[in-house]
Structure 1
């Protein structure tokens, strides 16, 4: 028994100093190239750049994002009311001169207006009898009608002219990303909004990120939210699309939350279009380990990417101005009282959040002891063997 006590007294200080070796795998760096850092950077305490926020019933509302509200979009309504299609190269026009069938675009029984109409050439003109070439590029059908009628008046008394677009082929919108049918959609005389384009593309796919849809116009990118538009009724997120616009619906592949520590089933969770609360994340992994977890140590670690980059690049400057250069926020929830989980339902997680449940102190101690037991048992077996050898008759 004395031998066991002496051995335990020898091993425990070593275990406390080198806990990583006893409680987990070890990776040696002796034969590897290690990047060294300057003494100036080593002197900076990283904990200075982390801010801890206790989550309580009174404080959680300050961290809750404001949900979108239903709002009209009068500017969009005006744009739609004033919308007129402008003809482009490749379109097909249909021209009718009433009471003058010889001047009307012919269309037989088996020919559609788009097959027999007047193609707009690459230079933006069409050829029409008597009046020759007519420039129609970027003009509305009303403007084209007036031009043809004016020039025909030299040959026809008070001509009654009608013009319409038989085929819309010059202008397109590109819808890409997580939609059912990505591809091109023609711009027509019916105004097309962002919502119209998504619906024509068959709607969003299962992996779509509802909150991140980009519209690129003339090299300028704008981000809008289909979640706010389609589920919250915020019409301010809708847009009137123009020729050449690129609509991209992002994937939700990076909408992940990492949950590990003392939980039943540590895993990677994907945030749905309706979001995910802290309580929902804990529920999705089977809850905390009641025997091992520290109920006071449920943490959400949220990085500040831009400031983290600055901290890495210039630690010396940050050391003197930590308040304005925080690299992470640490949110702590105490659920010793299970009713505190109600607070967790009000705290919305964000992509790349890390949910970590710490182990209780007694659990950490038990792990160390479990690592030591094989050594103690082995020593006990060894001492018993030595004793038997000593007592073996000569």
Structure 2
């Protein structure tokens, strides 16, 4: 009888001593922030509350610029503007019997494929160079008629334009039919170009549309571009349009519904939305008071007056049992590269210990019955 009791007692002692070393799927909050109060700690811990969330929103963005830069729409007239490199076809009508331009029994002469020179002019017989760059086709036609009237009575001019490189845009990549497309008028919008290029490639996940103009890059998520009429900007000759995947992501680990790399499904994702994207936290394992967001800042971001991070490594803590913290978390945005960590509840380890004790007691009873 004494031997089974001693055996049971030994197992109990071993189980209790080993409780802290039990395998877990995530760290306990205290383990992560254990050295936060040390002066030489490499990180700081900042609880997210209604009192400080507005200030936290002003801290430097990490992992990206903080928002996508887009421009406002500027329609302008419907007619195109002539630019250097465009091809112009002229048909000049002259009803005079002894015309300087037309031959015998001819009433018109066609001048085709005239290239607008780099200085913006074209050569027209008898009136020399005519500056047409920056003019609409109709304005250029009237100008040529006016100057021809000095040598040809009552001339009539027809003018047609074929867009050159400065009056075309490039659908560079990410479209079903990439290529160079002429700009037919000054109201040619980016949605018109995307339609002409066969639409954004369906193989792209979370597509982003970029416009490269004058050395500057402008970007917008494709979904936002399609939803917002004001985002349908007017293109200019020389624009380059690219569709690509939004490569921003954050990482979810610990006692979350799923441990994975999570792509951004919209321009901004707040902390509550981030948890929803990974199916929340594990009901039986997670500590609802210990959801942590780990973020790296650069040394240039540091501020000693509280207007920014005090250390390059910051742990933001969320207490999901507090209404104040929940409302604040809805205003706290996740940055690309953040680590969202749901810590393990200490109750989980205690339950495991009790389960082991129950197993040990069962073994002891079995021994005792023998």
What TM-score do you get using the length of structure 1 for normalisation? 0.60
1:119 is aligned to: 114
1:392 is aligned to: none
Which of 237, 242, 246 matches 2:240?
A: 246
Which of 104, 108, 119 matches 2:108?
A: 104
1:330 is aligned to: 316
* Structure-1 separation of matches of 2:319 and 2:177: 44
1:361 is aligned to: 346
Q: Which has the higher helix share?
A: 1
CA positional deviation for 1:358: 1.4
Which of 283, 298, 302 matches 1:308?
A: 298
CA gap 1:24/1:85 in 2 versus in 1, 3 angstroms? same
CA positional deviation for 1:168: 1.8
Task: Indicate the structure whose relative CO is greater, using CA pairs within 8 Å and at least 6 residues apart.
Answer: 2
2:160 is aligned to: 164
Which of 235, 256, 261 matches 1:263?
A: 256
CA gap 1:132/1:182 in 2 versus in 1, 3 angstroms? same
Please state if 1:218 is matched with 2:211. Answer: no
* Aligned residue-pair number: 322
1:138 is aligned to: 133
SS at match of 1:94: strand
* Structure-2 separation of matches of 1:331 and 1:162: 72
2:285 is aligned to: 292
> For structure 1, which runs of at least 5 residues remain unmatched after alignment?
26-41, 107-115, 312-317, 377-394
> For structure 2, which runs of at least 5 residues remain unmatched after alignment?
26-37, 59-66, 97-101, 361-370
* Structure-1 separation of matches of 2:280 and 2:309: 34
* Structure-2 separation of matches of 1:156 and 1:319: 76
CA gap 1:202/1:349 in 2 versus in 1, 3 angstroms? farther
1:351 is aligned to: 336
C-alpha contact 2:175 2:198 (8 A) present in aligned 1: yes
CA positional deviation for 1:361: 0.5
CA positional deviation for 1:219: 1.9
CA gap 1:367/1:91 in 2 versus in 1, 3 angstroms? farther
Q: Give me the CA root mean square deviation.
A: 4.9
* Structure-2 separation of matches of 1:199 and 1:302: 42
* Structure-2 separation of matches of 1:161 and 1:321: 72
CA positional deviation for 1:85: 0.9
